[in-house]
């Protein structure tokens, strides 16, 4: 179910709600809301943009967001965490290694106060309001990296981004998800033929880099189950991908496996620099 009207949204208090505020190398930030509790998964967009986008959906950082859960310590995922912690005393949840990476990341101009550092462990759930949030291991070239399973209202939402290669844990999470945000970072040919240096091309395509369109599509085709309702492809490269290319690649591979996008489950592409539609997850 999607509710939107000229970017003015109505929060449905007793359902899980989802909106992407930005998805890509320019900044990643996702909001989930349920039962009066709102959390952010990553905070890699500017604090000014975050305030504006939240205001557009009737929320504010000051009074409505309970916590930030960080996947890893790269700049496009943590840009605003220092401001958020300092200005609002908000807990920033991450693994111990991710917190170490945040502390030494030069993009972060404001250090996290010790009182705002909250810790998660892979496989161990955290309960916050109506949410049950469980991190799991994701391979990436950061200090550490996790995906998150967020459960509430009988719904299982899963975020898997910045993925170097597909692991058994990731396959399992795809198979359990009702709603899934999944990286589809680049097209292999665009990356190979593009202007990036060899070093950067090798980094992106390595087993600690990023999933390409075909890898994401085959992961869905082989491990999605009938309980999956909606997939959002995320973290698309501006230089080495295109939204329609990612969509067409996914749809073609899914159809080859007997899965019909829009019938078996929805497939959408998250915007890089602007918010998505507002989704009520049922």
pLDDT of res. 266: 98
Tell me the per-residue pLDDT of 65-96, one tens digit each, with 9 for 90 and over. 999 999 999 999 999 999 999 999 999 999 99
pLDDT exceeds cutoff 90 at 125: yes
Q: What is the pTM of this model?
A: 0.94
178 φ/ψ angles, rounded to the nearest 5 degrees: -90, -40
- pLDDT band at residue 14 using 50, 70 and 90 as cut-offs: low
Measured between alpha carbons, how far is residue 43 from residues 65, 75, 219, 253 in Å? 12, 9, 26, 32
Cα–Cα distance, 150 to 132 (Å, whole number): 6
* Residue 128, pLDDT score: 97
Burial class (CB in 10 A: 0-12, 13-18, 19+), 239: exposed
User: β-pairing, 230-234 with 179-183?
Assistant: parallel
CA atoms of 158 and 173, how far apart (whole Å): 7
For the stretch 133-147, pLDDT in tens is 999 999 999 999 999
pLDDT at 270: 98
272 has a pLDDT exceeding 80:
yes
Q: How confident is the model at residue 4 (pLDDT cuts 50, 70, 90)?
A: very low
| CB of 29 closer than 8 Å to CB of 22 | yes
Question: Which of the four pLDDT bands, split at 50, 70 and 90, describes residue 11?
Answer: low
């Amino acid at each position: 179910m999607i509710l939107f009207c000229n970017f003015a949204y109505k929060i449905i208090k007793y359902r899980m709600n989802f909106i992407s505020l930005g998805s890509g190398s320019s900044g990643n930030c996702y909001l989930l809301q349920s039962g009066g509790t709102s959390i952010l998964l990553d905070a890699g967009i500017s604090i000014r943009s975050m305030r504006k986008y939240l205001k557009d959906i009737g929320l504010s950082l000051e009074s409505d967001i309970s916590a930030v859960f960080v996947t890893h310590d790269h700049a496009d995922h943590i840009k605003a965490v220092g401001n958020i912690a300092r200005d609002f005393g908000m807990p920033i949840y991450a693994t111990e290694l991710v917190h170490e990476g945040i502390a030494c990341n030069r993009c972060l101009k404001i250090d996290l106060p010790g009182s705002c550092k909250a810790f998660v462990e892979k496989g161990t759930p955290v309960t916050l309001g109506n949410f049950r949030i469980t991190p799991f291991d994701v391979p990436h070239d950061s200090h550490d990296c996790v995906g998150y399973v967020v459960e509430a209202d009988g719904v299982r939402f899963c975020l898997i981004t910045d993925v170097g290669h597909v692991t058994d844990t990731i396959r399992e999470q795809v198979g359990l998800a009702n709603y899934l945000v999944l990286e589809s970072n680049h097209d292999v040919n665009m990356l190979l033929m593009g202007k990036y240096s060899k070093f950067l091309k090798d980094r992106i395509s390595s087993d600690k880099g990023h999933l390409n369109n075909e890898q994401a599509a085959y992961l869905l085709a082989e491990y999605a189950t009938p309980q999956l309702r909606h997939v959002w492809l995320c973290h698309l490269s501006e230089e080495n991908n295109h939204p329609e290319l990612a969509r067409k690649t996914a749809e073609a591979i899914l159809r080859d496996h007997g899965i019909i996008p829009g019938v078996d489950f929805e497939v959408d592409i998250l915007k890089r620099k602007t918010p998505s539609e507002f989704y009520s997850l049922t």
